[in-house]
Structure 1
Amino acid sequence: MPHRSTAFAAPHLALTTLAATLMSLGAQAQTAGDAPAVTPPPTPEQVVVTATRGGKAVEKIPGAVSVIGRSEIEAQGLVSEDPSALLAVQVPGYAPSRQKLSNFGEGLRGRNALLLLDGIPQTNPLRLGGREGYFADPMIVQRIEVVSGASAVQGMGATGGIVNTITRTPQTPGTHQTVELKYSTQGHSNSQGWKAGYMLEHLSEGENPYDVLLYLGKREQDIGVDGDGRYLATESLHEARDAYLKLGQQVGTQRFQLMLNQFHADGFDDWVDVDGDRATGLPTSAQHGTLDWQAPRNQVRSTSLEWSDSDLAGGVASVQLFKQTFSARYTGGVITTFQDASLAPTGTLVDQSQIDADKWGLRSSWVRPDFGLHGLEFTGGVDLLHDTSSQTLTMTGRTWVPPLKYRSLAPFTQLEYTWNDLTLRAGLRHENSHLNVDSYTTLAFYGNREVQGGTRDSAKLVKSLGGVWRFGDSGWSSFVSYNEGFGMPDVGLILRAIKTAGQSVDSLVDLQPIVTYNRELGLAWRGAGASFSASVYDSRSSLGSQLVVSNGIGTVQRVPIQVKGFEFSGQWRVLPTLKLDASYALTRGRTAAAAGQPLDLDLGARSQGPDKLVMAGQWDFAPDWSSRLTVSHFRPRNANEDKLSGTTSLAEHFSGYTVLDLATSWHSRWGDLGLGVENLLNRQYFTYYGQANYSGGNDDYYAGRGRTFTVSWKRQF
């Protein structure tokens, strides 16, 4: 289970995370939610979170925070290296994994989360294609920080929260090499998988140390089977490769750092789907075959150059210049939307789409403690983002979504005051956005409409306010917070589907930004051997964005959205060798069928996950031996009974399921040995989105993965 906290983290959690945060002064310059910032070493009672712009002890953050440490990442990696599966187990409000290349529908508290890699946005602001979840190998990750709920501090896209992946930095002087090997099987043909990774770490000694980290890794996974031994559908990941390099140099109080990460993921090119049957409960399967299009693919390259100074005018200054390129190719076929009688007879044209995004930007901040008053901390900075996104049909060279040229400039400031057991925080961020789109023509399916290009500008002052009260030495604390989040609707979906003649970009009110208002109240307690945290929240947006599929055609509707929820997490150290964890999340989202209508629709599976209960027990049953059993229970959900969009029923039905995962590790003299078992009881079940999505057909009725054994060996020398 994660180092999870609503207002406080338990001391034994802090000790685990401490290993991830204590390092040389140069390594302390690394932050994740911002450009690097050097912070003093945390005390043993602190879990330091950097996703809030500048390292901050979790007990001073007015909000729900989850910190997934290296030990949790490694334990989950024995079961599955799916990043969404890790988040679903560790973060209460995160929706279940689809177990596919796509993370579409895997929301956080019913909304989209801003995904970051060392502060570099991985989420595409204008064309959210559901492929942004795969961008790094778990081996290079030190920890993951999740701030649930709308966030003004990180800016555009954080309407549901922040998922900040922080990469590793060498912490021990000298040169160290690590080799990792994994092999998995389900005991069936075409179900094997393997992974090989090599990591080199070097940290020099001396007054101005430098550090180097290099990682090369490759993973392959065959098609696999469900609990009944039937082949799974083909949308899952087949092969992944990662090349990662980080170089750092400390010069006095300054640190310079260069990071490059290139991640490549491929789907299957020698398997084709076999339709299932929703009426009879037969899942979509696969068989060997030849594609008439190229295999699905993800390519992500992230680069950053960072500078920080731990003592600039009495504060910590940091600047990060970053660039990220993203390309996602989707499954092709004879797709109705792609048909054009001028190119081929209707019903025969094969095509597939690809999203390309190129972004660069700058993130800067200055954090000054005791800013004219003891206990008062000032944070200020400015963020700049340039993004160009488009979607093309690769086999015919047609434009589906024209290049969307987006620029965002956002200065921000925040004040935090701590007086005895009270911490108060208030912040402002001024989002200034500019969108430019050239004239273009829609596809034949939409009538070959000429759309006049234009620009759209928006400006919004988003606010945050909160406080944490610690009740002396009793172990109790509470927080209250109000946060606003800013994001753009999926502009690509809106512009590609225009069917009315005479439209222009600058007259489409649907391009107005999404502003989310999140109110939250939390309570926490921690004792010597146990802790818990709980919170209730209310998240609202008067102009949200919902994709509605009617009669097979998807359109974006700008309608109000309201999400209410309750989250709980707790831990109990029963014995020195036995620890129990539990978390529960209840989510209730509502929206309207159209603008101006009441909120009488349940938020669908494209946005909201089911209620879930996760329980885990970790038993260190012998010296150097540890075993963890995790039980994940996703509650049944029935939504929008007798509700229609056109003639399409919006009803969603999910029967729920429970799966058990087991991970066992042994730290031996020959290296770290591990055994993981996913779906221990070989449960036959349907994934949440595959079963609940009301617009699903027989081609995407996906079953979950059956029992899978993974053995691993890792050795450092």
Structure 2
Amino acid sequence: MIRRRPLATAVALACLAVAPGSTFAQAGDAATPEGDTAAVVVTATRNAKSVDKIPGAVSVISQPELETQYLLADDPSAALAAYVPGYSPSRQKLSSTGESLRGRTALILLDGVPQSNPLRAGMREGYFADTAIIERIEVINGASAIQGMGATGGIVNYITKTPRTDGTTFAVNVRLASQFRHDNLDWKTGFTVAHKAGDFDLLAYGSTQRRGMAYDGSHRLIGIDVLQGDTLDAGGNDLFLKAGRNFGDQRLQLTVNRFRFEGDADYSTVPANFATDTPTTARAAVPPGRAPANHVRTISLDYRHNALLGGTFGAQLFKQDFTALYGGSNTATFQDIRLAPLGQLWDQSEINADKYGAKATWVRPNLLLDGLEWTLGLDHLRDRSGQRMAGTGRTWVPTLDFRSTAPFVQLEYELGPVTVRAGMRRESADLHVDAYTTLWTYGAQAVRGGARSFSKTVGNVGAVWRFAPGWSAFAASSEGFGLPDVGVVLRGVNRPNQSVDQLFDLQAVVTRNNEVGVNWRGARGNAGISYYDSRSRLGSVIRVNAEGLGVIDRVPTRVRGWELAGEYRVLPTLSATGTYARTDGSTAARAGAPLDLALGARAQGPDKLVLGANWQWLPKSQLRLQATRLADRDTNIGRFAGATSLEEHFRGYTLADLAASYDSRWGKLGVGIDNLTDRQYIGYYPQSVRYKDPLTYFAGRGRTFSASFTRTF
């Protein structure tokens, strides 16, 4: 059962702290006895706190819920779309373009280590680890500075598994999925070793997977995205190790994850035919260039002291190396007549992002005043990101050397049924870029290097009032700190005599999120409703040009929305769940113009309703039936930004899914049916975007059957 403080933002959580990355706040801390929903504790806030004391909240997707969702689709973004009201629909591709949280960008973390690449957001950060190592997902909704830069829409923190019981266990898991058609089998197998003896624990995991093609509801091959990357006709592997040791009140822990996922290059794209309403399909053929791939390595060393100077101290050192290779193309952007005749140069790009940093936090209750808790901390991050042309070695985006240091302070005071929080974080960042030359298509402009500073103090304030048993109300406001996609800005310089330190477009994005809400949590379930208003005076809107490439406009943005969520146990073995999100984002056609344009599909999802029923039909069993409705959306009719049409149309659809599991004495067996009614539909993003690309007009998966088996010994 999902443990959710629904519908709230993390507005007052910016700067809330304890162990950096929440690595040591074990999943057991978040578990509660059945029915005790008021005792749910979350850790994505960098401090384990009961949700009824947080002015604003997180959603927690539990391991059983993840296992159920992964029966339907082994896709992290699909799980977020199913359980988080404000998360937009999954693309079902390696690229996450068009996926957002409350109409803005989410910062993705793995045990507190940043996986997102805000400096050059290639929208490939969603695949960085095998889903089998994830114990739960904690989502903070709304602008937040709690984990630093990039969380203008919220934070998605994936918490990895840790051994819970003494002894040594081994587990083998196998997953199969198919539509029973040609070259359509998906399979994954993994092996886990879990060991716990006294103060020492270790978890090791290795897996390999291969994915075939997929068919839509009309039994046509679904098109493969050979440029941005696809989860079809692909495969990968993961190696994961987590080892920790307790020393009395102290703990030291090392976590290493190495993930690789890449295409098999057996299929090419067949363009859509809009005259006959035929979506993009595929055929057996080798596409040009090397297959798209994601290679990610994450390492963190965590230390915690539970009794340091009367408080709790946590520190984390981390390093993350990310590489995303995109497919080959002879697009006009890649042409250079010095290398080949116009139209004959094929190339492909590759993003490289290397991060390392440190987080330190000290939490001291009852300091100076009984009931007053102080949180002091310091974060440091260095991010070196760039994008090159892998075929010719040319620079598309120069190396962006970003350094950030951020001290913060958070105060929390509890007075009876009221909890008040307020804090500040001082973000001091510098970006250094050496001189570089743009691609020939931009005029081969020589851009002078330089440095820009992005310093800003972001604050938060909020309160929770527990006004009756099981009932609470909150009001909160906080700011998040981010940057536009610096890589997109720099690679598109097409005028002479430009320098990095003079580009207006590189100013920081500061987002303020205000929210109010009411929640109920009782023995039989929970429910809540909230309203939020998120604004940025100098936002970052990506519009798609005639080539299908994104360009940035620096204009104000505003996103408002209502969210509802609830769960009710009708019987001890039967429960019903539901979430609804209505999102209304607006922006301006140009600086100084009114905010009378709706945000496009690249930034905002449609209104979404998800209903589900969970039935425990036998002991140690679970069956879930769920339905998702995406509403019609027609925006910006007859509107333009310059010469670019902004009109978008989306015809909504409803999808139903069914999943069941049974934990027998031989092992745990699961079965799932994705798209139960075999509905034919075009995905939200390809259907909505103004620039209808015949190479990316993808249909969604038709009815898909899956089965999994896990044996522990």
Q: TM-score range by the shorter chain?
A: over 0.9
- Offset of residue 36 of structure 1: 4.0
Give the corresponding residue for 1:404.
400
Separation of aligned partners in 2, 1:461 and 1:504? 27
Aligned-residue offset at 1:573: 0.7
1:11 is matched with none
CA distance in 1, matches of 2:20, 2:295: 22
Matched, 1:428 2:424: yes
Structure 2 match to 1:548: 543
* Conserved? CA contact 2:6–2:566, under 8 Å: no
Q: Does 1:174 align with 2:160?
A: no
Shift of 1:147: 0.5
For structure 1, the residue ranges without an aligned partner over 5 or more in a row are: 9-28
Q: Which residue pairs with 1:233 in the alignment?
A: 223
Q: Deviations over 1:640-690 (max 9, x none)?
A: 110123433211111011111111111111100110111111111111111
Give 1:224's aligned residue: 214
User: Which shifted more, 372-381 or 313-322?
Assistant: 372-381
2:182 paired with 1:186:
no
Q: Structure 1 residues 33 and 6 mapped into 2: Cα distance closer, same or farther (>3 Å)?
A: farther
Cα offset for 1:39?
A: 12
Matching residue of 1:137: 130
Partner of 2:12: none
Q: How does 1:115-264 map to 2 (within 5 A)?
A: 115-205=108-198, 209-235=199-225, 236-237=230-231, 238-264=234-260
Q: CA deviation at 1:40?
A: 11
Match of 1:537 in 2: 532
Correspondence for 1:617 among 608, 613, 633: 613
When structure 1 is superposed on structure 2, of 122-131 and 525-534 the one drifting more is 525-534
- Report if the CA contact (8 A) 1:30-1:38 is conserved: no
Q: 1:562 to 1:177 in 2, by over 3 A?
A: same
The match for 1:13 is: none
Are the aligned partners of 1:147 and 1:163 in contact in 2 as well (CA < 8 Å)?
A: yes
Question: Are the counterparts in 1 of residues 174 and 187 from structure 2 also a CA contact under 8 Å?
Answer: yes
Q: Which residue does the alignment assign to 1:278?
A: 274
Tell me the distance in 2 between the aligned counterparts of 1:326 and 1:582: 36
SS at the partner of 1:71? helix
In percent, how many aligned pairs have the same letter? 50
The answer to whether the Cα contact below 8 Å between 1:427 and 1:464 also exists between their aligned partners in 2 is yes
Matched, 1:587 2:575: no
Match of 1:523 in 2: 518
Match of 2:378 among 361, 375, 382: 382
Cα deviation for residue 37 of structure 1 reads 6.0
User: Which deviations, in whole Å up to 9, do the C-alpha atoms of 1:226-245 show, x marking residues without a partner?
Assistant: 11111112232121211000
Give the whole-Å Cα distance in 1 for the aligned partners of 2:413 and 2:23: 23
The aligned residue for residue 496 of structure 1 is: 491
Deviations 1:271-303 (A, max 9, x none): 000000234321101100012201000011000
Q: Secondary structure at the match of 2:673?
A: strand
Aligned pair in 2 of structure 1 residues 150, 196: CA closer, same or farther (>3 Å)? Answer: same
In 2, Cα distance between the equivalents of 1:406 and 1:673? Answer: 47
Structure 2: distance between partners of 1:177 and 1:374: 48
- 1:31 positional shift: 5.7
Give the structure 2 partner of residue 365 of structure 1: 361
Moved more, 66-75 or 277-286: 277-286
Please say if residues 18 and 312 of structure 2, whose CA atoms lie closer than 8 Å, have aligned partners that are also in contact: no
Q: In the aligned structure 2, how far is the partner of 1:638 from the partner of 1:420?
A: 48
Once residues 469 and 268 of structure 1 are traced to their aligned partners in structure 2, the CA distance between those partners, rounded to angstroms, is: 55
Q: Which moved more, 1:236-245 or 1:531-540?
A: 236-245
- Equivalence map 1:260-659=2 (5 Å): 260-473=256-469, 475-552=470-547, 554-659=550-655
How far apart, CA to CA, are the structure 2 residues paired with 1:499 and 1:2? 50
Alignment match, 2:14: none
* CA-to-aligned-CA distance 1:521-557 (integer Å, 9 cap, x gap): 0101123323211100000000111112333364211
Question: TM-score if structure 2 supplies the norm length?
Answer: 0.95
The offset of 1:331, in angstroms, is 1.7
Partner-residue secondary structure (3-state), 1:461: strand
Match in the other structure for 1:102:
95
SS at match of 2:501: helix
* Equivalent residues of 1:6, 1:523 under 8 A apart: no
Q: CA deviation at 1:631?
A: 0.5
Corresponding residue to 2:21 among 13, 28, 33: 33
CA RMSD after TM alignment: 1.8
Q: Which secondary structure state, in structure 1, belongs to the residue aligned with residue 468 of structure 2?
A: coil
With over 3 angstroms needed to count, the CA separation of the structure-2 counterparts of 1:30 and 1:462, relative to structure 1, is closer
- Report the counterpart of residue 89 of structure 1 in structure 2: 82
The separation in 1 between residues aligned to 2:665 and 2:523, in whole angstroms, is 33
Secondary structure of residue in 1 paired with 2:108: strand
Instruction: Assess if the C-alpha contact under 8 Å between 1:34 and 1:364 holds in 2.
Output: no
Alpha-carbon distance in structure 1 between the residues aligned to 2:437 and 2:210: 40
Q: How many equivalent pairs are there? A: 694
Shift of the alpha carbon at 1:50?
Answer: 1.2
Between the aligned partners of 1:128 and 1:34, the Cα distance in structure 2 is: 25
Helix, strand or coil for the counterpart of 1:432?
strand
Task: Decide whether the 8 Å contact of 1:566 with 1:587 is kept in 2.
Answer: yes
Cα shift at 1:2:
3.4
Q: In structure 2, do the counterparts of structure 1 residues 279 and 421 end up closer, same or farther at CA, with 3 Å as the change threshold?
A: farther
Which stretch of the first structure deviates more once superposed, 134-143 or 112-121? 134-143
Q: Does 1:68 align with 2:64?
A: no
Residues 18 and 313 of structure 2 are in contact (CA less than 8 Å); yes or no, is this contact kept in structure 1? no
More displaced stretch, 476-485 vs 278-287: 278-287
Q: State how far apart, in whole Å, the 1-side matches of 2:525 and 2:487 are.
A: 48
Query: 2-side partners of 1:386 and 1:128: how far apart?
Result: 16
> 1:566·1:585 contact (CA, 8 Å) conserved in 2?
yes
For 2:5, give the aligned amino acid.
S
User: Any stretches of 5+ residues in structure 2 without a counterpart?
Assistant: 9-16
Q: TM-score, normalised by structure 1?
A: 0.95
Asked if structure 2 preserves the Cα contact closer than 8 Å seen for 1:357 and 1:387, the reply is yes
Q: 1:40 to 1:691 in 2, by over 3 A?
A: closer
Counterpart code for 1:89: A
The one-character-per-residue Cα deviations of 1:422-480 (angstroms, maximum 9, x if unpaired) are 0000010000010000001100110001101000012100001111100132x211000
Offset of residue 30 of structure 1: 10
Residue identity in the other structure for 2:292: P
DSSP 3-state at the match of 1:88? helix
Using the alignment, how far apart are the partners of 2:494 and 2:65 within structure 1? 49
Kindly state the Cα deviation for residue 61 of structure 1 after the two structures are TM-superposed: 1.2
In the alignment, the residues of structure 1 paired with residue 260 and residue 26 of structure 2 have an alpha-carbon distance, to the nearest angstrom, of 32
Which amino acid counterpart does residue 415 of structure 2 have in structure 1? W
Kindly provide the CA deviation profile for residues 27-52 of structure 1, in whole angstroms up to 9, marking residues without a partner as x: xx996734646999677542211111
2:708 maps to what in 1? 712
1:324 Cα deviation (Å)? 0.1
Counterparts of 1:526 and 1:252, CA distance in 2: 36
The DSSP-based 3-state class of the residue aligned with 1:33 is helix
- How many angstroms apart in 1 are the aligned matches of 2:160 and 2:429? 30
Contact 2:18 2:47 in 1 (8 A): no
